[in-house]
Chain A
Amino acid sequence: MAEKKASDQNGATGSVETAARGDAALRRDLLRQMLLIRRFEERCAEAYAIGKIGGFCHLYIGQEGVGVGAISTLRDDDYVITSYREHGQAIARGMAPRAVMAELFGRVDGCSKGKGGSMHLFDRNLNFLGGHGIVGAHLPIATGVGFAIKYRGGDQVCVCFFGEAAVNNGAFHEALNMAALWKLPVIYLIENNRYGMGTALERASAINDIAERACSYDMPNEVVDGQDVLAVRAATMRALQRARSDSIPTLLEVRTYRFMGHSMSDAVSGTYRTKEELEEHMKRDPIVVLRLMMEQGDGWTEADTSKLDDEVKAVVQDAWDFADASPEPPIEALYEDLLVDTTS
């Protein structure tokens, strides 16, 4: 896709690529966010194993570059909506690791007061419209957010994350068709981690280059390397520009890989993918890709990484301690927030 001029988040003009690359401080922040999510998710696995987290728990390890890259380009008044593999996106959007961990522990200080759990993280103050648990269901919801933006004449954008398996679902078709038909400012961002649970993309989709699905809706689309956080930023910025200035939706196919099982009950490798395949993909760890770039260009050192790692580990430990100390919801909460008792 042709490079277009765009304003970066600091207001300076330059090529999208230049803005996406940012400066050393921005790259350090991206590395920090990805590392924080990585360490957070590792502790989630540990907490799950000892029963502090229950239910379904889907980890983001390996995919950090996607959420961090895309969300880092957004304004505070933009919207993010996503699926059930959303701990990383919530943190990237600015949700406190304490509030996320407390939610996973089912405690009252969780972002959804312990009512939602791993799959239903919400934060109204951050325009984080939730983790949604039914594959594909939040795609039409994102279309509706885009409709509301247009209805009000705003210039916000809604970014909708979902796995590649959702493209085979009717909701995907219905949502994208209406967004393109009505020209709504929505970025549909496929996190193509190659497996819908245990079913490989090529065993589920009649076409393997799923960005091409956008052609059915005459919608701009792009294939992006999801292990390169800066590439994700650049592609998202191009899509944002189309959405903000011309209210045109985009389908981004961001190619990534899940380093863990589908959920905590699924082996890391297993019946549906080989250890060799996993190891091959793990060579392109998004954290390592950025770190190497920084070591080459920013004078970043091993000692810097080590220091940053210690810092984020402390943040995660603090989140764990906070969640552990937070009380369970009071039993009266059972019937709270079922209905609003006002009318407008």
Chain B
Amino acid sequence: MPTITYRDALNHALREEMQRDDRVFLMGEEVGVYQGAYKVSKGMLQEFGEMRVVDTPITELGFAGVGVGAAMVGLRPIIEFMTWNFALLALDQVVNSAAKMLYMSGGQYPMAMVFRGPNGAALQLSAQHSQAWESWLAHIPGLKVVAPGTPYDAKGLLKSAIRDDNPVIVLEGEMLYNTKGDVPDSEEVLVPLGKAEVKREGSDVSLITWGKMVLVAQQAAEQLAKENISAEIVDLRTLRPMDVEAIAASVSKTNRAVVVEEGWAVAGVGAHVADFVQRECFDDLDAPVLRVHQEDVPMPYAKNLERAAKPDAKKTVAAAKKVLYLDT
């Protein structure tokens, strides 16, 4: 099976879906001539032409709205945000237009479109460029939200997102673009939206996570294994709709849960997971649910402070030991 980067997996997904359906087009800043700010759309302008790979002015609200309008009349836009940090300018279109159009029109206007781009922190990009927005987006009824952590899931989720007849948010990871993984090229890779995957089987503690934090959870699980602690990794993959059955199945096995998320704790996605677990898995729990997350500060620039602010394997190991009462 070929090993490819997360970046190439996304590129293949975009190209395969644009070859499959000529209503699909890609629009955003630097997607064409520049070949993508992160080279995700490399070669696509040459393959599909400038009507289907559309460079925009730096105008997030504007081109997100262009995508909404095109979707209203039957095209299937993929709107790329150079990063989700810039997408804050476009949130009115994502939230007030894309997410609500079907509902407030009484079912007349489905919004088959994708908003995608890198989410979360990279390295030393400081406060305005290092933020994880999933709790903001997963909050909104009418959206679907996915956060792939591996090249396979990146390809499969993006392809499913493009085929879905609803607005789908795809949260990629700048730090994931160069990561590699097995992705078959002999078969169609489609990952269903709303389905979690157990990335590592375990029996002592459930690490519930998504997106870039799947890597952190894997590092933590390796370290825990050295201490004979068996961690199970539940990769949610989709945050809305959330595969709560997968969470319940894992917690019923391990009786302990740690949520590992990239964003801030207050009103975070992890709070929603913890709410579900305490309500639906109460009798299974042997310890309170703990959360690993970014410290409650804007991302600092200095290397040491940035490291301290981010969730990491060490913090995850500590949380896992705490729910196992091994932290004394």
Q: How many residues of B contact A (CB 8 A)?
A: 46
Q: Which residues of A contact B104 (CB under 8 A)?
A: 112, 115-116, 120, 122, 130
B70 at the interface (CB under 8 A from A): yes
Query: Could you tell me if A340 and B110 are in contact, using CB atoms closer than 8 angstroms?
Result: yes
Q: Is the CB of A139 within 8 A of B105?
A: no
Per-residue A-contact encoding for B100-116, CB less than 8 Å = 1, 0 else? 01111111111010000
Is the Cβ of A116 less than 8 Å from the Cβ of B72?
A: no
Contact assessment for A340 and B66 in the assembled complex, using a CB-CB cutoff below 8 Å: no
* Contact present for B62 and A174 (CB under 8 Å): yes
Report whether A140 and B142 are in contact in the complex, using a CB–CB cutoff of 8 Å: no
Among residues 141 to 168 in chain B, which have CB atoms less than 8 Å away from a CB atom of chain A?
Answer: 141-142, 144, 160, 163-166
> Judging by beta carbons under 8 Å apart, are B76 and A124 in contact?
no
Q: Flag if A145 contacts B105 (CB, 8 Å).
A: no
When each residue 54-87 of chain A gets 1 if its CB lies under 8 Å from chain B and 0 otherwise, what string results? 0000000000000000000000000101000000
Tell me which of B69, B93, B110, B165 contacts A145 (CB under 8 A). Answer: B69
Q: Is A143 a contact of B103 with CB atoms below 8 Å?
A: no
Pick out which of these stretches binds chain A: B51-59, B118-126, B304-312. Answer: B51-59
- Given known pairs A134-B92, A134-B96, A338-B142, the reply for A114 and B106 (CB within 8 Å) is yes
Q: Which residues of B lie under 8 Å from residue A344 when comparing CB positions?
A: 21, 76, 112, 163, 165
A151 to B: closest C-beta gap in Å:
6
Q: Is the CB of A151 within 8 A of B25?
A: yes
Q: Judging by beta carbons under 8 Å apart, are B74 and A111 in contact?
A: no
Task: Scan residues 33-72 of chain B and give those whose CB is less than 8 A from a CB of chain A.
Answer: 51, 56-57, 59, 61-72
CA distance A149 to B73 in the complex (A): 9
- The smallest beta-carbon distance between A173 and chain B, in angstroms, is 8
Confirm or deny: B246 has a beta carbon within 8 angstroms of a beta carbon on chain A.
no
A64 vs chain B, min Cβ distance (A): 25
B-side contacts of A337, CB under 8 Å: 102-103, 105-107
CA A181 – CA B57 in complex, angstroms? 10
In this complex, what residue of B is CB-closest to A131? B104
Q: B51 contacts which chain A residues (CB < 8 A)?
A: 150-151
The answer to whether A278 has its CB under 8 Å from any CB of chain B is no
B73 touches A148 (CB 8 A): yes
Residue B97 at the A interface, CB < 8 A?
Answer: yes
B215 an interface residue at 8 Å Cβ cutoff? no
Kindly state the separation between the CA atoms of A185 and B63 in the bound complex, as whole angstroms. 16
Write out, one digit per residue, whether chain A residues 167-178 have a CB within 8 A of any chain B CB (1) or not (0): 000110011011
Known: A129-B72, A340-B165. A139 touches B65 (CB 8 A): yes
Are B65 and A141 in contact (CB-based, < 8 A)?
A: yes
Query: Given A116-B106, A130-B105: A148 and B70 within 8 A (CB)?
Result: yes
- Give A149 to B71 CA distance when docked, in angstroms: 12
Q: Counting CB contacts under 8 A, is A144 at the interface?
A: yes
Show 13 residue pairs from A and B whose CB-CB distance is below 8 angstroms, ordered by the A residue.
A110-B106, A112-B105, A115-B105, A140-B65, A140-B69, A141-B65, A143-B62, A144-B67, A148-B69, A148-B73, A337-B102, A337-B106, A342-B165
